[in-house]
Every structure is written in C-alpha cells, then in structure tokens.
Structure 1
Amino acid sequence: MPGMQRPSPRRRICAAAALAAACGALAIGIGAVVRNPLEVVSAVLLIAIAVAAGWDALVRRGYRRWFAAALAVAALGATAALPDLRTFAVLSLVIGLVVVSAAATRVAVGQDLSVGPIAVEVPPARRGVLLMNPRSGGGKVATFGLEERARRADVEPVLLGPGDDLRALAEKAVADGADVLGMAGGDGSQAVVADVASRHGVAFVCVPAGTRNHFALDLGLDRADVAAALDAFGAAVERRVDLATLGDRVFVNNASLGVYATVVQSAGYRDAKVTTVARQLPELLGPDAKRPDLRFTRPDGTEQTSADIVLVSNGRYRLDHLSAFGSREHLDEGVLGVVTLTVDRATDIPALVSAEMTGQLSRFRGYRSWTTPQFVVRSARPLLDVGVDGEALRLPPPLVFGIRPAALRVRLPVTAPGAPPASVAPRGARQALLALLLVLSGEPAR
C-alpha cells in the first residue's frame, strides 16, 4: 500500500520461520497419523478425557470430585504409557511448533494490518499534572521513579495518600489550571481521572502503573516501559476515544456479570485466587448450579433470561480466551461491545474447554457477541455482583450501560507502539498465510 514501508530483513526471516514451523507441525502431525493412526487417536482421546475429567473435578463436590480427579490422572498416565512413547513426544513437538509459528507471525506481520486512529500533533503541556497511586501495581510509582521523572519533565506530581479522594484531587488540579491531566495507576483509577478530564475538556495521559493496564494496552502503549508514557506531556500526538458508562460511573475497559463477577466478590479472592475459584466453581458451574438471574434483550429483539457470563466493554473486544479479556482494535467506534456465554452443564464443558485451549472461543455454541449504543441488564435480585475495570461492586438493577463517543482527548508519546494486539494479529489461517507470503516476498502484509 502507498506509504507503507517494506518489511525489514528481520521480519522477512520471521515470516520464513513462521511458515516453516507451521509446515513442520502439519507434516509431523500427518506423518504420525499415517505411521501409527491408532496410537495418535488414542493419545488425543485420552488427553480429551483428562481435560473433561479435570473440569468435572472442579465443578463437583464430595466423592464425585475425587473420582473425576482420579480419572484425569489415570488418563494422563495412560497417555504417557502408550507403547510408542514417540506419540507423546510428537504431540508435544507439534504444539511447540504451532507456538513458535504464532510468535514469529506476530513479529513478521508487525503493524501492517493495523489501521491507525486519526491523531494530530500537539505541543507540550502548558501545565501538566500527574496523579499517582503509590500502592498500585505493587508499587510501580516508586519502582520506576515516576515522581522524580515527572518533576524533571516539568510535570506536577500529586501522590494519592490514604483516605484521599482521587476525583476531588483531579477536580482541584483542573481548577488550578491544569491543561493536561495524567494518571499513574490501575484501570479503575484511570477511569476516574479520565472522566474528570473529559467533563472539563482537558487532555488525558495514561501512565500504565497498575497490574494489568488493559486500557494502556489498547491505546498502543508499551506497558513494560512505564516511564516512557510521561513523554506524552511533551510534544505528542492526540486522539479521541470513547468512554463507557454504567449509570453515572465511567469505565474504560469492561464490566462483567455472572460467574466471574461473583468469584471476585469473595473475601479471599485477592490473596488466594486458585483456592477461591476451586471452592466456588461447584456452586457456579456445577451440574446442580443455578444460572444467575440476568435478563437482557438480544440484538434480534428476543429476551434472554440468563447467562453464565455477561461482559460489557468500552468498544468491541476480540475475545479468543476467557482467561484473558482480549484486546480491542478500536476505541473510537461509538459502541459498547457485549459478549454473553451460556454453558449447558451436561454437554458443553468439553467443547468449552477445547475452545478455550485452541483460542476459538467465538466458535463455542453458547457464545454471543454484538455491539450496541446501550445495554440494560434486569434482575429480580436486589443487588447484582459486578466487576467494573477490576473493581468488585454490588449494584441494584436495572443496570444501564451507555457510551460517550469521542468523549476523551488522549495524548500519546510519538514513540509509542500505537497499535493494540487485536489490530495487528491476523484473523484466521487464511489471512495469516497471505500476510506471511507478502512479507516473505518483501511486500507489506496488506
């Protein structure tokens, strides 16, 4: 395409490596099936049994849990004890080559598939203020020396102390003349300061000093280089992004209801995640578990009375796995993204586990996804568990979600990567193959 740079030698080498690894995995897999089809099929079936039994052990109680756990261990043992040990090694090698191919593909394709947002160059802030949560992200403010770095950049640092009201501090900074307002902290704090900035029409700087920093990821910031985000107070680029709302509350990433939201409400979740999940799964996804009372309207106008998981996001998520809440190609489409997941306790668990492991969650039959400017969740319960940008809340229904299009002016460093993972990853094997062949031939991936 005009204006696109030709791929570097490094990217072309990665394209060749990705194609070679993919072809190797395919050839080894086919060869193994041809040489010893019975053992390969047996190994795949045993692994499937182990996965299904392992899940069954998580969602059941009493002797049934122990029986399922024993079956899972036995199936894994039988896989390792197959007469031809090469079968197990072949499966491991195929999986390894697929992982290598995926990693090399990401480097080879680079950002060629990304359609960059509209951004304008802006001069340095006249009076920049950076609010900081020193406890966020395990103390990243201190680890990266953000207070001192801010002073050197002629930005006023404001540390959030015990009992301080973050919104009040942000309002005071604007009242005192700040034209650029930044936040160094987690996504919940980012949402509060972003809301203040948007309401007063001042620009916002996101400094990824939280734990996961999903908002920073989808803005195209380098989350590993926290201090580099301070460059946005200098000469930078500015773009507009949407803000989502739940009633009067703004959120920048997502709000979740159902199984996940209930688990994170547990008192011991923060300190013992695995133990808490194992203890609660029988009540939430076990064969006798009742689905949460979550009622909403589908895009075709039909009413749905329940779902195991409801995820409402600021923009549309590309969601391949439940274990990680994906990434968004765009933050400026002016819509909410809605994902619902409904699991039939008796028949769907193996299919769900398979979809999760292969990154094909959207193909699971209980998965639904759509976009909308407004979404309402009703319930007969007096309070609903809701996780909003990682914060556990209990709110009365109905829950009314909305979107504020282009509400926030965000400043980004000119050296930031600029592309979220969802915008640079190929969609499907066909697009990946075409992109790799183009890069290998010396052309951009699109």
Structure 2
Amino acid sequence: MWNWLRSVAGGIDRVDRDLVRRSSRLPRTPADPLMKELGNAANHSLLWVTAAAVLAVRKGPTRRAAWRGLAAIAGVSTIANAVAKPLFPRRRPAVDLLPEHRRYRYRPRSSSFPSGHAASATAFATAVAMESPRAAMVVAPVAAAVAVSRVHTGVHWPSDVLGGAVLGAAVAGATRRWWPVSEEVYDGPGVEIDLPKLGDGDGLVLLINPGSGVEGEDASEHLAQAWPSATVVYPKEGADLVEQLAEVVDDLGSSVRAIGVSGGDGTVAAVASVAAVRKLPLLVIPGGTLNHFARDIRVDGPTAATLAAEQGTGIEVDLGSVEIDGRTDRWFLNTASLGGYPDMVRYREQREDRWGKWPAAGAALVRVLRESRPMTVRIDGRVRRVWLLFVGNGAYQPRGFAPMLRGGLHHGTLDVRYVRADVPFSRLRFVLAAMTGALHHSRTYVQRSCAELTVQVAGDPVLPATDGEVGPAGRRFRFAAHFGVLQVYRPRLSRAMRD
C-alpha cells in the first residue's frame, strides 16, 4: 500500500515539474504583471470579499450568492490552513524554476499543498453559481485566472492548485446541508386554476397598508392607477383589520370578485383569512419589508401581480389554523409558534439585512436558547419539556431552527419542530448538532410532518404567535393544515415572476 502511494506521489511530482518547466518557457507578455497583481488582490480573500459586497447591493439571487460565497470561503480557508496544510506539508517550487520577472519578491512560507488561493476562488465561484448563474459567468473566469496565477508566478505546483480547487468546490457544495438553494427546494406551483380577470379593477376590493414597507415609500398612487375601478380600503387606526375589511366586503355583496392586499406578511395574513372564509381569490402585491408569502408563491413584485390579474391565472394554496382553548381560531399563511421562537424571528429579522439570513439566524438561535425558559407541554399525548415550538404551513428548509425557504404550499401538511429541554445539556447538544449538520441524529431536536397537532401547556397560559402577530394566551392549542382553501393570483409565465 505504501509503495503504491509513494509511486503515485512520485508520478504527480514528475508531472508537476514537467508542467512548470513548460510554463517557464512561455514568452514574456503583458499578462505577467497582471497575474502577480491578481494573486496579490486575492490575498486573505480580499478580492472575493469585495466581489461579495458588490453582489450584495441588490436583494435576491445575487445577495444570496454573496452570503453563500462568504460562508464557503470561511469554511474552506479554515480547512485548508488549519487542517490540510499541516497534514500534507510540501515544499513550494524552487525560485529558479521560473524567470525572474514572474516571481514574487516575498514568497509564501506555508505548505504548498493545497493552494489556499485556488481553494477560496473555487469555493466562492461555485457558491455564487448555485444562487446566480448569471453572476457566476463574471466571477468564474476571474476565479480561474487567480488559480492559474499561482502556477504562473511559481508559488504552487499544478497539483496544489488542483487540490485546492477540488476542496473549494466540495466545501461550497457542502453548504447545501445547512443552507439549501431556493430553486432546488421549490417543488412547483401546485394546482393551477383560472380566476376572474380583473382588468381595471372592477369587482376588486383592495386593502392598502401605507405603513408597511420602507419608510417613505407609498404605493397607493401606483396601485390606484393600475386598478382605477377598485374599491380601495385603508386600515383605520385602532380598528381590527379583519373586521374592517369583512364589513366592506359584506356590504358590497356579490359584486366582489376578488380581494387584494398591498402590505407585508402580517397584513397579507389578515386579509387572507377574510378571502378564505368568503371563498374569494386573493391578489397579493408585495409591499412590506418582509414578503415571505409573496416570495413563496413566486409573486416577487407589482409587475407579477398585475400580470396575474390581467391573465386571470392563479393557484390553490394551503392555510394553517390554530384553535386556542377551543374558542379562538387564528389563520396563518407562514408560521405559528409557542415559546421563544417569536423572539428568535424578531432578532433574526432585525439583523439579516446587515449580516445575512444564515449568520443572523444562528445568532438569534443562540440568544433565544440562552434566555428562554422551558415549557412543559403534552404533544399528542406525550409529556415533554421544550424550549420552543415551531409550526409551519407547509414544509420548510433547512432542517433545524433556522427555517427560511418553503418548497410549496399545496401538500396539506404542517412542519412541526421543537427543541427538547428534558435531555441533559440539551441547548449545547442542539447547537453542536446544528453546526455539524447532524440534527437528524440528535435527541434534542424533533421534526415531523402532520396534518393536525394538539399541544397542551402545563402551568401559566402562553402567548402563541401567528405570522408575527401575538396572542391571545391559552393552554390548549390545536394546529391544523387546510388543503387548498385559498386561491391566489399568480402569473403562469416564469419570465414574469421577477419584478
């Protein structure tokens, strides 16, 4: 075995030396100083951090690509410098193998294998390609040039670069275990249906919440121009939004053909409950700082909503409900929760624009687990002590308590997750399992899918949260998934799904 390994290593060494000799015979060109500068720019991944900052300027795939790229670089740099280089020490190419004009004045002294520059460049380019193939068309050639420059300037053997590239691609691919790619999670729109064409808005009751979204941005004028015949409703201060809208719809009677809403997730959830009860289709115009439901049904902006209304096309989606102490029913589009989960979401959303969703979610989880108090609950007949409980309308990804992406809303299931507090060192064990991607083997974490869930809380009443709205308090909660009870407008042409 050892003889065979030595033989393979010797063969690689001979190929490396032959390739470096061939490289040394290349004629001098204007690209030689550029190769040196490119390698300097990539020191400490500064080139990729700068590229990530540019990509993160705009929300959407490029921002996700930036954060995934930085996560991949952090992982591969740690592995390459702290693990691979100490385990596989190797001398760098001799100084005199290449002409002087291509050499660095100060050469690296660490192990030649693997190339850290090639590892970081490949990790970043691969991660960017997962989220934004268009951005990768620009990043990939630069990453390839950085990798080639390490051989061209004589600081690495070709096999060092190849090894670094393989390591970088592997680490970038491994980020999927913690952070799934949104398009891979999405499993289709569900049942497509024909809905009333709204034209100029005749028969449309449109609720506009000017308080949603970024301060200073009010879409009222634009929406009034898009649907001039619509009945426009604005929330009254101090009034119950559901009751206010329901009264308007009931007064108009059979002339109402659809209900529209411009606002964030909280406003959309309230309006959706009115639409579902009265069996009217819902037109969603994203207008909040958080538009998770609109994103999940692939209505990314006013253009997509307008097109869907013109076409009269849509889909059927599920709604979740929670019955509190057998008296109060609350509908939810996205999530419901008990315990510290609402605090975790609030903390994450306050920081995700600056930190990115994954770092912000990790910090929020650690904070909530440190500060929250466990609840004693009976979940479908079994007594547990839990830190927090999450119930999603539909299946979320990734596993663990940072659910961010939803594949579809047409399966009639609830995504139930909770962290147990009745296991020794439960918080520490949960965090370690989440960091290593081993939650499916952890006793502290439970995740399952079901159509109904009953939770009985021992002790004082607790406050539930549904789509960011809190209360009323209770001790007995019955969660249920309602298959296809809500019709929503959605364009069928994929090219129109982006605003």
* TM-score past 0.5 threshold: yes
Determine the C-alpha separation between the residues in 2 that align with 1:296 and 1:170.
35
Contact residue 379 and residue 454 of structure 2 kept, 8 A: yes
- SS at the partner of 1:330? coil
- Asked if 1:37 is matched to 2:112, the reply is no
- Give the structure 1 partner of residue 49 of structure 2: none
- Give the structure 2 partner of residue 313 of structure 1: 392
Q: Could you tell me which amino acid in structure 1 is paired with residue 408 of structure 2?
A: H
- Asked if 1:386 is matched to 2:489, the reply is no
Q: Quote the offset at 1:394 in angstroms.
A: 4.4
Determine the C-alpha separation between the residues in 2 that align with 1:181 and 1:269.
31
Determine the C-alpha separation between the residues in 1 that align with 2:464 and 2:471.
5
- Asked if 1:292 is matched to 2:317, the reply is no
Report how many residues are paired. 342
Determine the C-alpha separation between the residues in 1 that align with 2:431 and 2:290.
24
Contact residue 183 and residue 189 of structure 1 kept, 8 A: yes
Task: Provide, for residues 98-146 of structure 1, a one-character-per-residue CA deviation record: whole Å limited to 9, x for no partner.
Answer: 454233123459958743422134451241121011111234xx62534
Q: Tell me: CA distance 1:253–1:90, structure 2 relative to 1, closer, same or farther (3 Å).
A: farther
Q: Tell me: CA distance 1:384–1:22, structure 2 relative to 1, closer, same or farther (3 Å).
A: closer
- Asked if 1:250 is matched to 2:331, the reply is yes
- Give the structure 1 partner of residue 209 of structure 2: 133
Q: Which of 168, 182, 189 is the aligned partner of 2:243?
A: 168
Q: Could you tell me which amino acid in structure 2 is paired with residue 153 of structure 1?
A: W
- Give the structure 1 partner of residue 278 of structure 2: 200
Determine the C-alpha separation between the residues in 1 that align with 2:277 and 2:293.
19
Q: Could you tell me which amino acid in structure 2 is paired with residue 241 of structure 1?
A: V
**Residue correspondence of structure 1 range 21-420 to structure 2 within 5 A:** 29=79, 33-37=83-87, 97-108=122-133, 114-125=187-198, 126-139=202-215, 143=217, 145-154=219-228, 155-171=230-246, 172-176=248-252, 177-222=255-300, 225-226=301-302, 228-247=304-323, 248-261=329-342, 285=370, 290-297=373-380, 303-320=382-399, 322=401, 324-342=402-420, 347=425, 349=427, 352-357=430-435, 362=440, 364-415=442-493
- SS at the partner of 1:135? coil
Contact residue 320 and residue 360 of structure 1 kept, 8 A: no
- SS at the partner of 1:385? coil
Contact residue 195 and residue 313 of structure 2 kept, 8 A: yes
Q: Could you tell me which amino acid in structure 1 is paired with residue 284 of structure 2?
A: C
Q: Quote the offset at 1:311 in angstroms.
A: 0.5
Give ranges in structure 1 of 5+ residues lacking alignment: 1-17, 40-82, 421-446
* Identity across the alignment (%): 26
Q: Quote the offset at 1:96 in angstroms.
A: 7.0
Aligned-CA RMSD value: 4.6
Contact residue 189 and residue 297 of structure 2 kept, 8 A: no
Contact residue 304 and residue 496 of structure 2 kept, 8 A: no
Give ranges in structure 2 of 5+ residues lacking alignment: 1-67, 90-107, 134-180, 324-328, 356-361
Q: Which has the higher contact order (CA 8 A, sep 6+)?
A: 1
Determine the C-alpha separation between the residues in 1 that align with 2:131 and 2:438.
18
Q: Could you tell me which amino acid in structure 1 is paired with residue 376 of structure 2?
A: D
Determine the C-alpha separation between the residues in 1 that align with 2:226 and 2:349.
36
Q: Quote the offset at 1:210 in angstroms.
A: 2.1
TM-score when scaled to structure 1?
0.63
